[in-house]
Structure 1
């Protein structure tokens, strides 16, 4: 089943609907409207001089927290607690701003913090805390003047925005699930068509083998016997030559018939296509972005080299599914002069927590590579893990 979130809980960067758009900077923009001229924005009353230092400090907190929420690729800013702390800082600073200066556009801050709690990250305990604080922070300025209905209206408005955002999030996830189901259905249809084609090929192979090949084999034996009898009875050489030629044609036809049967039964998938099917299956099964890039001119490889490439790709994708769920996977198959290079890298956005030499899977890949004179390199990178196999073929 696919997922909307990566391993750190962020919405996947390749999702549609503007998940990485500049709208994420709205808390900073809303907070800065305090210091803009009234004719530019609905800023309400001017900021009092004694409030200015406190408001500047709170606005800086909002901006800093907003930066901590952005989906940077740096490992230091990808930790879940960083974004959680940033969201909590924005929420508390927004409440402080409204207590000091409850006017103008800044009233949108509690609405936006509550939206952030459910829009760009998977919901968690902190999300509900932020929603509650946003409702209270938006309502408290009205309670200071005992405007109970206004306070209730603001709190319910924050809650309504949260529900609408959650509904949109759920609708997007359902759309992705529908797309995945359609892709899997198409894959099933293609597999059924392929199975039907293979069954038909097998039927034709049986017919060719049972009828044509047997008939040609019988004809060849009959002509051979005829030739021997003609030689025994001292027939003319011209007749013997014609029978010999007919026997050779029958023998050649039998060879071609057997080759056709072998071709019909041996439905070998090209090496590049086999690895591409692995990557496609990985993408459909996990929902993680995965892509195969082929460079050079694809060619048929020896059976041992093709098997080593296929098993290495299979093991690398299995390890990515196990140790970096949801992470982007890039596979590159490079057909060079005299050798073929397969590189599979996963990108969870951080180095592996425990970089080891690998278990029996990696050991088996290395042994398979050494048996055919190849080279296998595995190890951590700055943002994930890489497997690289070079085979001399």
Structure 2
């Protein structure tokens, strides 16, 4: 029901208020409380349908009784308008428990009026015909509203089905593209990275120039980076974010291929999905730690420990250099950026030397 329909429905309340106002000058002392009941019980018509549901039914029954009594006291005025309006609304909006009592009350009022005012048979039949017409109008409007609601519901279901069908087709196409990327591009890049690693080792064995080795290393690094990006693209196409532990394994695979050194991931706790900002911060910390290991301790093995706790996620990166490195101040932009990123999320970053290597520890609330 649109706004204008609601306004029209509210204006129909005037069919109760105006006849009642026209009768006010003729009311006797005992009729004033009855008029008050009519006015009070007609107010729910301003907010059809009303909530709770029982309110409308109760008010319409009381309105039918009080309006019929006032009509029997003032048969020559506009009080029949109140009676017929109540009957119409009871049939249109009320349940059977509401409509049947109101119909009985109205018919009873007309029968009582016949005996009280000595109404002719013709007038009595005309009154019953009017009651039947009002009931039929209410039923017709009720069925029309029900049909409109069913039509709107059917259109909504059809639109939802069409949207779901389109979404399913889109997801199927994206899944097909993701499979192609994974089966062709990712596998090819993985094989390329392994072949380049073998070529680099052969060049070093045969005493090739440093420039040739550097070019192969650069090509291998590009292949590893391309493999990581391909996996991210596959995950995005499948609308499936890469789990944190899987993303760290990808970084360690790249480090292993790049340096030929051992790289191990240890996971404690039950792996779970974490917020994107937390995932990005942890990955940047691991990436920066591996970059520093490449720079300051090339060829060192690396151990990454990822711990999922109830209220936080921690990651520890430890490179094994075989000696205790000298303590260094936190002057690098990478380490400083890692610490600032962790503090923005309420976490903590600590770095320092261990007995046989350098340790980076990050803890973030999750």
For structure 2, which runs of at least 5 residues remain unmatched after alignment? 242-271, 277-309, 313-364
Matches within 5 A, 1:99-248: 99-120=72-93, 122-138=94-110, 140-142=112-114, 144-248=117-221
Q: CA, structure 1 residues 208+57, in 2 after alignment: closer, same or farther (shift >3 Å)?
A: closer
Alpha-carbon contact 2:83-2:106 (below 8 Å) kept: yes
Structure 1 residues 55-104: Cα deviation after superposition (integer angstroms, max 9, x where no partner): 445433423433477669x99xx583x65554333323333333333213
CA 1:99/1:209 → structure 2, altered by over 3 Å: closer, same or farther? closer
Is contact 1:115-1:165 (8 Å) kept? Answer: yes
Summarize deviations over 1:170-222 as a string: whole Å, max 9, x none.
21122122222222222222222222222111111111111111111222222
Distance 1:232 1:124, change over 3 A: same
Cα displacement (A) at 1:113:
2.2
**Gapped regions of structure 1 (runs ≥ 5):** 1-11, 37-46, 269-301, 307-370, 374-391
Q: For the Cα contact (< 8 Å) 1:69–1:86, is it kept in 2? A: no
Shift, 1:304, TM fit = 5.8
- TM-score, normalised by the number of residues in structure 1: 0.54
Give yes or no for the alignment of 1:29 onto 2:2.
Answer: no
Query: CA–CA distance in 2 between the matches of 1:94 and 1:177?
Result: 35
The equivalences for 1:1-393 within 5 A come to 16-18=5-7, 21-24=10-13, 26-35=15-24, 52-67=28-43, 80=54, 84-120=57-93, 122-138=94-110, 140-142=112-114, 144-267=117-240, 303=273
Structure 2 counterpart SS, 1:21: helix
Provide the rounded CA distance (Å) in 1 between the counterparts of 2:189 and 2:58.
82
Q: 1:245 to 1:96 in 2, by over 3 A?
A: closer
How high is the TM-score relative to the length of structure 2?
A: 0.57
Shift of 1:18: 4.5
**Corresponding residue SS for 2:89:** helix
Cα 1:53/1:249, change in 2 over 3 Å: closer
Residues in 1 aligned to 2:68 and 2:195: alpha-carbon distance in whole angstroms: 102
Q: Choose 1 or 2 for highest CA Rg.
A: 2
Q: Secondary structure at the match of 2:208?
A: coil
* Aligned residues: CA RMSD: 3.7
Quick one: structure 1 residues 151 and 255, their matched pair in 2 at CA, closer, same or farther if it must change by over 3 Å? same
- What's the secondary structure of 1:104's corresponding residue? coil
Name which of structure 1's ranges 151-160 and 51-60 shifts more when overlaid on structure 2: 51-60
Tell me the matched-pair count: 250
For 1:202 and 1:162, locate their aligned partners in 2 and report how far apart those are by CA, in whole Å.
59
